[in-house]
Structure 1
């Protein structure tokens, strides 16, 4: 089945996780994505081999594959005038120019908006930055840890007051991947506008903008109240006025998450499922006001009941529960989740299992292919540009391409 972006050509001049993950989403949607890497060193992300205790030996490397599946790679030295010429020739053939380079570097390498529009006036120019395209810090870089997680308000909001320091992101490229999906969506909207009006757009997404957007509800509440919304102390149940919203430990040390925002609607059903039917009509849990007043008692009831069985037992028993609940899963357990498998949210890409980008079209998951080896398609792409082998060898001899 063809993807919605089949026939769209994307030229990506970017590195690390954020902007390349936008290119990965576009590739999942059917676009042809050519990734420009430094002629000698490639994308620095290729050298990332250890995350916490996990060490990646050899290839393929999940640290590069997640954000680069389905692309083609060409190695170009943009500091070399002949290398810049190749980038411009590639831009002539592209519908989208995608970059993570800072303003000063875009000017230095001749890939800023005016430079690219000079060779392709209708190209969509998409930029991913750390802190946004305007303001005193627009030429400063950033990573998801700094710009998204910490500066965007996530870290402070998620860290309980009794924890020393700050809770860090749950894994590599957390904010990068979310921000990249935002950028891919902006590019898709720009393509629609271009098709309708003939007017190309400059699309901007920053790690900071995505972090602030992710915290939008919380920031609105904080602005309304005039104080930040703080995380509950470590070990707290969850909602202070609703026993059916929160985390509960099971007999085997796992956890269930309950999220029933209308407690009176679901209380009797929960009681039947935990083998406490006599509590279904308990007046303490008959109205929203009485539930709020007796939340502590409700939490104690549920902690005792849920702590009496294993997660596997609860998964079977709660299969008919009307209210929303979920097991708390780590990343390895997610791989075996039957709903994840049924919807093909994780798919094979060569030797690896990779997460599909979250949008599906016509009930079909995208086909995933491995990311390219460094500069693997350099000669192929140059031949497609019309160069002959003598010209390619001359570029190699000049150090303009890999």
Structure 2
């Protein structure tokens, strides 16, 4: 399986880049948790607040569900593991005054709060930026919403799929209307949520750096729609500067040719030729003289004559299996690769060599409490590779409320009697 196992708690790993940073995570689902997992991977102490008895929505977004020790599905969805590694789960009912007070106390000693409630949703609990910054002026408070805190859509709930549609992303994803399977298509993962989480991470780090100069935190307003519009990138720039409304064109590229999938003897492969030198080397390897043809000699010419070149290339690529093309082109610096499914991707030699599949023990001593069957959790390793302060795997994606007593003792100094009383009243 080539799964990298997390370091044991006794190995005393080097401090992470964000060691000592306290993050209070009031977010759920994907965009906010993706951000806080980035911070946690980099060494921050992230305390995830969840509703008692229910927790983050993604704990229930299945199937698939984690298997138990007998291989039978539990009631814990695999989705949750994607974005909650290295965090500690604390259950607090923020609908109760006592729960709100606990969260305010945690925020008072935190550096960062991340939340993704609807605009104004936390003000009624006294957990909005104005309320918490009055208690802790150094607090960096990041709000993630669908449409931001201003504008006519500010009160709307926002979801990745909805924003993919509204932003125009779906209009440029998929095959053209006249082709088989044509029509708008969502991207296969919630990319707007993921991009939003990454932008939120960047904004938080920037605000922390600014705090070093000013001594004060600030409010960060991150909206899915804003992020979606920004990540249209070259497609957005084409419209804004040339008035060109991009259209769907399957796997081909609007500005590069050949940059798409091609048929092979046993399936399909991907060619990503980004310059004229690569195209010339492909032609030499394939035994063609297209690089000397004025219609195809430059990328701009190839884009204009796409309809002539692609069928010619397809006839040639069909003559060899995918693996043979990869072997032929690999040492000629011509980008070429297979179109893997996810299982094949995780089995790829490069993916295995980079240790991108990691396993963690949710219960480090190997003995889960009664009723908690899931022990080993597998996730994808962080792509952040820092030479001096590497990412450390400290906590598996936590069971609901796994760290409640630990954190409340450690951060707030609550004793066993107080914790038992809070639990008896359903506050935690």
Q: Name the TM-score, length of structure 2 as normaliser.
A: 0.83
The one-character-per-residue Cα deviations of 1:178-223 (angstroms, maximum 9, x if unpaired) are 2111111111111111123212121121111111111032122112
Quote the offset at 1:386 in angstroms.
0.9
Say which is worse superposed, 69-78 or 382-391, in terms of deviation: 382-391
| SS of residue paired to 1:161 | coil
Uncovered stretches (5+) of structure 2, i.e. residues with no partner = 1-13, 67-72, 362-375
Q: Distance in 2 between matches of 1:241 and 1:399?
A: 59
* 2:392 paired residue number: 367
Query: Structure 2 vs 1, CA of residues 77 and 71 (structure 1 numbering), >3 Å: closer, same or farther?
Result: same
Which residue of 385, 402, 417 maps to 1:390? Answer: 417
Secondary structure at 2:120's aligned position in 1?
Answer: helix
Q: Which of 245, 270, 282 is the aligned partner of 1:228?
A: 245
1:36 matched to 2:55? The reply is no
2:147 maps to: 131
CA contact (8 A) 1:179 1:205 kept: yes
The Cα shift of 1:326 comes to: 3.4
Deviation at 1:268, TM superposition (A): 3.1
Picking from 210, 228, 246, the partner of 2:227 is: 210
- Cα separation, 2, equivalents of 1:128 and 1:290: 44
1:86-97 superposed matches below 5 A:
86-97=102-113
Q: CA deviation at 1:397?
A: 2.0
Counterparts of residues 179-190 of structure 1 (less than 5 Å): 179-190=196-207
Query: 1: distance between equivalents of 2:59 and 2:125?
Result: 22
Structure 1: gaps (5+ residues): none
Whole-angstrom CA distance in 2 between matches of 1:285 and 1:180: 41
**1:228: how far off?**
1.6
Query: What CA distance in whole angstroms lies between the structure 2 residues aligned with 1:399 and 1:293?
Result: 67
Select 1:269's aligned residue among 273, 281, 286.
281
Contact 1:258 1:325 in 2 (8 A): yes
Decide whether aligned partners of structure 1 residues 240 and 370 sit closer, same or farther in structure 2, where only a CA change above 3 A counts.
Answer: closer
Deviations 1:247-291 (A, max 9, x none): 21121112223232x33x2333112322x1565645654456765
Normalised by the size of structure 1, how large is the TM-score? 0.89
Aligned pair partner of 1:168 in 186, 190, 211 = 186
Q: Structure 1's 240 and 13: CA in aligned 2 closer, same or farther, altered over 3 A?
A: closer
Q: Provide the residue aligned with 2:271 in structure 1.
A: 257
What is the total number of aligned residue pairs between the two structures?
A: 390
> 2-side partners of 1:75 and 1:290: how far apart?
61
Secondary structure in structure 2 of the residue aligned to 1:205 = strand
Query: Displacement of 1:340 after TM fit?
Result: 2.9
Per-residue deviation, 1:60: 6.1
Q: Among 64, 87, 90, which residue is 1:71 paired with?
A: 87
Q: CA RMSD in A?
A: 2.5
